[in-house]
Structure 1
Amino acid sequence: MSELPDGLHEFLADSGWSDAAIDPIPGDASFRRYFRLHRPNCEGAMLMHAPPPEEDPRPFLHVAKWLSDHGMRAPEIIAARPEQGWVLLEDFGNDRMRDWLDLHPEGEQSAYEGAIDALVELHRRPPGPFSSYDMATYQREAGLLTEWYCPAQGLNVDGDGYVASWEAALAPMLPRQARGVTVLRDYHAENIMLLGDPATRAPQGLIDFQDALVGHPAYDLVSLLQDARREVPEELEAAMLARYLEQADAHDDFAADYARLGAQRNAKIVGIFTRLYKRDGKPRYLDYIPRVWAAMERDLKHPALGPVADWFTANIPDELRRTGGGTIT
């Protein structure tokens, strides 16, 4: 067993879980760590350690409460000591959507239908008490590509032109997200838990939502349907987008905004995955970049992305674009 964090046993004792067996489970791309707890003759629980100063669990607790209060399936919070990074929460089990689909590919349609329906329900709620997804945030995220990916490829690019191209592409969209919906920001098959019988589109548990903002309803759709970590066939993407539009009150420019946010999010992810390798020594994320790059290239074909597409043509060599971003060393 890997070394347990200081303070774990004290927190469990204060929470009434001192007799629990502790099973560390793999973490994610952050500093967070997770442990599955088991007690005799009792349901288990999940322990999250999000240690300061690198992590702060208070946003997670804030969003979890809002989601639960509004009828969404966030995990129940059993106990928390946020100043030390400890959160004890409901265990949603083992049926993470991505893992379940690896074993049950025939259930892909129903699983994605359930994920779309959950988003429809979320978007019918009033937007949460969260910060707005504004231009500065979109620009900061898109800028991760020029901050990390371009230097890693030895590219000397037009940084000011990059910012200006995104300003031109995204500005028409901002008025359409004025009312806004709660945007979970990392809504994809690794962060959706299938509860009950996955084949019947049972309620889906939400995790990893601590960065929620109020923004455009297309953002989480892009996150789900242009998944960096799992191949989503283009036909399924189109069918699920149509399913969402059948149920939602969407505007005429929704397809254009979907492409805008697809390109923006995928540019961000290319930058993040490069950073995870160059700064944090996590090379496995490089394997996902070709998939992300391919989705971004599809998004850039939409006329709404004209300024950004022109920038890519002028600044990113064709060879890198054809090979899904090229090899990063």
Structure 2
Amino acid sequence: MASFQKDFKIWVMDHLPGSALLSEPLSLEPIAGDAGFRSYFRLNTQIPLLAVYSPPQEENNLAFVRVSHHFSSGKIKVPKIFAVNFEKGFMLLQDFGTELLQPLLNLDTLPQYYDLAEELLLDLQLLHPGDSIFPNYGKPQLIAELQLFQKWFVDKLLMLDLSQRDLSILDDLFELLIGNAMEQPIVIVHRDYHSRNLIVHNNQIGVIDYQDAVVGPITYDLVSLLKDCYLSWPEEIVRQRALSYKSRAVSKGLMREIKDQKFMKWFDWMGLQRHIKVMGIFARLSIRDNKESYLSELPRVVNYVLSTTFNYSELKPFNQWFSERICVCLPRYPWYSGD
């Protein structure tokens, strides 16, 4: 480890931009990371910089760089990349600072910051996806994500054995959700557009953690923002903002005019797909990666699932199954009960 740190520090020193003045020996201060395998270090340079170790065997660093350049060319605010070593997984990036959107949000500040976040999202969706930059977020990818729920949340976290009837109910729901996703207009999708991946920087919103961006359904990033896995808002506020976004998307030519009810179905069912996937991902982060803090966010995600499946008659069979097979197990777990 000492050898790696020395090698990393030498690389950082060799690739500092000319404007990155140092008044004392270079230091690399570890800072909190994200749900991936990357490690972040804040430098003591006079311009804000981050050194990043992003293990190439775990992270798609080429995708990060390509998406960064594409977003930047479209005036999307992303960290500037100063240097990359793809073989070793070293990167030197602009530091947007520590002002994540999440702790700034409350019912009073929500309109101000969500207006900015939604305008940024519209700009992102208006970008042409280019050639071979963004993978297609189609049926195989959607199925693979939904299957994370059974593998990691049901099987490994709750340790439940599912019957053929249980599996049939899941299959029926997955078909509905995939059909809903596939009928929507296609745009660039960040795929994790929420309050922990948006940073307030110089009175603007900057976006991070976008290396998994794809082309996919228009409501995916919107529902990721408005039905955030790390905070929640009253349903009426969510509905009002979703429909306001729909009107702006129509006016900008991103989609044709459709009935509000249809758009809300797109939005709600897309959110259900995401939240079912997230239950699997948060369980995997805890079990495989020892990041147990993500389990404390699951009660909110469970509530999203219950609410959405209660509000649509087509989803009632899953709502009943989820209540009877899954929810009855949850109070025994400290991360759910709060004990």
Aligned length: 314
Q: Is the 8 A contact 1:293 1:325 kept in 2?
A: no
Q: Could you tell me how far apart the structure 2 residues matched to 1:325 and 1:88 are?
A: 45
Aligned-pair CA distance for 1:175 = 3.6
Distance 1:124 1:161, change over 3 A: same
State whether structure 2 residue 75 is matched by structure 1 residue 98: no
Separation in structure 1 between the aligned mates of residue 139 and residue 300 of structure 2, nearest angstrom: 26
Gaps in structure 2 of 5+ consecutive residues: none
Structure 1 equivalent of residue 120 of structure 2? 118
1:153 counterpart = 2:166: no
Distance in structure 2 (CA, Å) of the matches to 1:153 and 1:324: 8
The answer as to 2:199 corresponding to 1:182 is no
Change (3 A) 1:92 1:155: same
Give a deviation string over 1:100-145, Cα, whole Å, max 9, x none: 33xx763222111111111111122223431111011111111111
The residue type equivalent to 1:132 in the other structure is N
Q: Provide Cα deviations, 1:32-57, integer angstroms capped at 9, x if missing partner.
A: 10011122xx3121111111212231
Structure 1 residues 184 and 62 mapped into 2: Cα distance closer, same or farther (>3 Å)? Answer: same
SS state at 2:184 partner: helix
Once superposed, what is the RMSD of the aligned Cα atoms? 2.6
TM-score (ref. length: structure 1): 0.86
| Residues 1:6 and 1:143: Cα distance change in structure 2 (over 3 Å) | farther
Does residue 37 of structure 1 match 2:43?
yes
For each residue in 1:267-307, what CA deviation from the matched residue of structure 2 results, as whole angstroms up to 9, or x when unmatched?
A: 0111111112222222211111010111122222353x82x
- Candidates 282, 288, 298, aligned match of 1:289: 298
TM-score (norm 2): 0.84
Is the 2:309–2:318 Cα contact (8 Å) retained in structure 1? no
Tell me if the contact between 2:177 and 2:273 (Cα under 8 Å) persists in the aligned partners: no
CA distance in 1, matches of 2:216, 2:231: 24
Long gaps (5+) in structure 1: 198-202
Instruction: Report the Cα distance in structure 2 between the residues aligned to 1:148 and 1:241, rounded to whole angstroms.
Output: 31
- Report matched runs for 1:120-135 at 5 Å: 120-128=122-130, 129-135=133-139
- Matched with 2:270 is 261
Distance 1:8 1:139, change over 3 A: same
Tell me the secondary structure at the aligned position of residue 294 of structure 1: helix
Alignment of 1:44-55 (within 5 A): 44-55=48-59
For 1:172 and 1:275, the matched residues in 2 are separated by 26
Distance 1:74 1:279 in 2: 30
Cα distance in 1 between the residues matched to 2:208 and 2:199: 8
204-213 vs 74-83, greater mean Cα deviation: 74-83
Q: Give distance in 1, aligned partners of 2:31 and 2:68.
A: 21
Letter paired with 2:59 = E
Q: CA separation of 1:6/1:263 partners in 2, compared to 1, >3 Å: closer, same or farther?
A: farther
Give, in angstroms, the shift of residue 327 of structure 1: 2.5
